[in-house]
Amino acid sequence: MKYKSVLVPRHGGPEVLQVIENDLRPPSAGEVRIKVLAAAVCRPDVTVRRGEALYTGTPLGQKLPFVPGYAVIGNVDAIGEGVREVTVGERVGVLTVTGGYAEYLNWRNDRLIPVPVELNPAEAVTLILNYIVAYQVMHRSAKVKSGDKVLIIGASGGIGTALLQLGQLAGLKMYAMASKNKHAILAEYGATPLDYRTQDFVELIRQSEPDGLDAIFDGMMRLDYIRRGLSLLRRGGRMVGFGEPAGLGELFRILATVLRVNLLPNGKSLALYGTSSYFLFDKRSFLEDWATLFRLLGEGKIKPVIAARFPILEAAKANALLESGQVIGNVVLLAPELL
C-alpha cells in the first residue's frame, strides 16, 4: 500500500515542495501509525523550508530532504508491539516539528496528545502549536491575572489571534499591534488596535497607561520592538518573546538583551519561550494545558480563526498564502474527506 507526503528536496520558497509517493509500513515497536486528518501550516514550517530556522525553542535543523509540518491531528490506524496507551481508532495530536505534511505518519507512542473525537480537526489542530504557545506564554510565563494591562506585538496571525481570544477570556486590557487592514479582528476581541507602520505605539501607550504595562507578548522578535516594549513595562512587568529573529546576529543581540535585562535591578523581566521543554522535561504541563484548551474549544469559549483550508497535498499553495503576509489567523491542511 502506498501513501503520499510533501517533501522539501532543497531549501527555497513554496515552489520547492514536491508531492512524493511512499510505501506504507507497519509501525515499529513502541510506535503508532496515524492517518492524518489535519496539519497546521505555521511559521516554523516556512523557516525550516527556507533553511533559515534559528530559534523557535525546538530542534529545527533538518537534513535534506525532509517532510515539513509542525503539528497534526489524526486517528490511530495501527499500533506497534508494546503499545498500551492507545488503541486503533483513537484520535490523537502530535507536535511533530517536521513530518506532518503527509497522509500517514508513524510516531512514538509516548509523545501522543489525547484529542476529544467530537472536536473539529481543522480547529483542534491549531491548538497543538499556536494555542499552546499563546496559553503558556500568557499563563505560565507571564502569569497574567484579570485586569492586567498587556501589549501583543504581532497580533493578527495564528498565535496572535489565540492570544487575543485567551486574553479576552482572562479579562485582560489589551493593546495589539498589526497592520491597519487587520485591525478589525483586534477590535473584535476587545483590544485597542495599533498600527506598527504609522503609529508610535510607545507614545500612545504611555499616554493611556502612565503607570506602565503588566506584560508584553512579542511575536515579532525584533530588537527594536523589544527595547521599546521594555520601556513600557511597569516595575515587576514581564515581556515574553516567542517569534523567530531576523537573523543569527539579531538572535545573539536578543540573547544578550535577555541577560542584561534580567540582571538589572529594575524589577522587569524578559524571557524567550519555546516548545523544547515539551520534548525535554515538561511533558505533564503541556498535556494539562492541551486538555484545558480542548475543553475550552468544546465549550465554545475559544474559536480558532481559520483563514484558509487546503488539501494536505496542496501544501505549496498553503505555504504561499501564509508567506503573503495577508493571513489573519490560521492556515490548515486537511484530509480530502474533511473539505
Distances (CA, A) of 228 to 56, 214, 225, 271, 285: 22, 15, 5, 15, 32
Q: What is the 3-state secondary structure (H, E, C) of the chain?
A: CEEEEEEECCCCCHHHCEEEEEECCCCCCCEEEEEEEEEEECHHHHHHHHCCCCCCCCCCCCCCCECCCCEEEEEEEEECCCCCCCCCCCEEEEECCCCCCECEEEEEHHHCEECCCCCCHHHHHHHHHHHHHHHHHHHHHCCCCCCCEEEEECCCCHHHHHHHHHHHHCCCEEEEECCHHHHHHHHHCCCEEECCCCCCHHHHHHHHCCCCEEEEEECCCCHHHHHHHHCCEEEEEEEEECCCCCCHHHHHHHHHHHHHHHHCCCCCEEEECCCHHHHHCCHHHHHHHHHHHHHHHHCCCCCCCEEEEEEHHHHHHHHHHHHCCCCCCEEEEECHHHC
Q: pLDDT at position 277, please?
A: 67
Taking the C-alpha atoms of residue 234 and residue 253, their distance in angstroms, rounded to an integer, is 23
Q: pLDDT at position 56, please?
A: 41
Taking the C-alpha atoms of residue 173 and residue 92, their distance in angstroms, rounded to an integer, is 35
Q: pLDDT at position 250, please?
A: 81
Q: pLDDT at position 63, please?
A: 84
Q: pLDDT at position 175, please?
A: 98
Query: How many CB atoms lie under 10 A from the CB of residue 214?
Result: 22
Distances (CA, A) of 65 to 61, 210, 314: 12, 52, 18
- What parts of the chain have a pLDDT lower than 50? 55-60
Q: What are the grid coordinates assigned to 146, written together?
A: 484579570
> Facing residues of 311 across strands?
334
Q: pLDDT at position 274, please?
A: 84
**Closest alpha carbon to 283 in 94, 126, 11:** 94
Query: How many CB atoms lie under 10 A from the CB of residue 61?
Result: 9
Map grid coordinates 524589577 to a residue.
Answer: 267
List, in order, residues 6 or more apart from 236 with CB less than 8 Å away: 214, 267, 268
Q: Model pTM? A: 0.94
With vertex at residue 216, the alpha carbon angle to CA 213 and CA 217, rounded to the nearest 5 degrees, is: 160
Q: pLDDT at position 58, please?
A: 43
Do 181 and 115 touch, CB atoms closer than 8 A? no
List, in order, residues 6 or more apart from 46 with CB less than 8 Å away: 319, 322, 323
**Closest alpha carbon to 48 in 19, 80, 6, 4:** 6
320-339 per-position pLDDT tens digit: 999 999 999 999 999 999 99
Domains of the chain with bracketed CATH: 2-115+305-338 (3.90.180.10), 129-276 (3.40.50.720)
Q: pLDDT at position 276, please?
A: 77
31-56 per-position pLDDT tens digit: 999 999 999 999 999 989 998 865 44
Dihedral angle at the C-alpha atoms of 18, 23, 28, 34, nearest 10 degrees?
A: 60
> Facing residues of 215 across strands?
150, 238
